């Protein structure tokens, strides 16, 4: 044996144990960092409870067919300066649709951290508005309305992307 050997008395069990502890400790540390960043940077899908929604997909298709038959058209816009989300709702011939409760969920496309809910109020026949301050960037607005006379069953749905520009 040479004088430059790393272990004077040879490789013992304590050296192997220490080497294994350091090796696996490093693996657990790196995996822990990866798990932390995976969980904190992406919240998952863009809808809550996708499994149950998938089970009721035929109902969703039937509701979409009823919406198409009704022929309602909604135009959603956002005024960044006023912090106001506006919905203009018309029927097939262009007449305004009044008397709805309109609720919205607005959030970022890839996370649920900044999700916000808003209730619209009718400012004139067929025009609904909600006060909502949104930071610059991309947003997804999901609106749903209920007719006052139908006892809360959905009558109109709209999902639209919104881009809020940087304010100078």
Q: Over the stretch 1-31, which tens digit does the pLDDT of each residue have? A: 455 567 778 888 898 999 999 999 999 999 9
126-160 exposure pattern, b = at least 16 Cβ within 10 A, e = fewer: bbbbbebebeeeebbbbbbbbeeeeeeeebbebee
Topology of the domain comprising 50-164: Immunoglobulin-like (2.60.40)
- Per residue in 62-106, pLDDT tens? 878 887 888 888 899 999 888 899 999 898 898 998 888 889 999
- In the chain, domain spans: 12-41, 50-164
pTM comes to: 0.62
| 128 has a pLDDT exceeding 80 | yes
């Amino acid at each position: 044996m040479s004088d430059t050997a790393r272990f004077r008395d040879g490789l013992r069990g304590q050296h192997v144990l220490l080497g294994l502890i350091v090796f696996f400790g490093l693996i657990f540390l790196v995996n822990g960092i990866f798990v932390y960043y995976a969980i904190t940077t992406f919240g998952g899908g863009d809808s809550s409870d996708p499994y149950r929604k998938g089970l009721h997909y035929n109902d969703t298709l039937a509701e979409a067919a009823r919406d198409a038959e009704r022929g309602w058209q909604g135009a959603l816009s956002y005024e960044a300066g006023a912090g106001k989300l506006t919905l203009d709702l018309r029927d097939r011939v262009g007449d305004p649709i009044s008397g709805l409760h309109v609720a919205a969920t607005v959030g970022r496309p890839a996370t649920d951290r900044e999700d916000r809910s808003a209730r619209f109020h009718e400012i004139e026949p067929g025009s609904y508005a909600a006060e909502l301050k949104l930071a610059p960037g991309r947003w997804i607005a999901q609106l749903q309305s209920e007719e006052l006379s139908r006892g809360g069953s959905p009558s109109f749905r709209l999902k639209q992307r919104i881009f809020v520009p940087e304010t100078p």
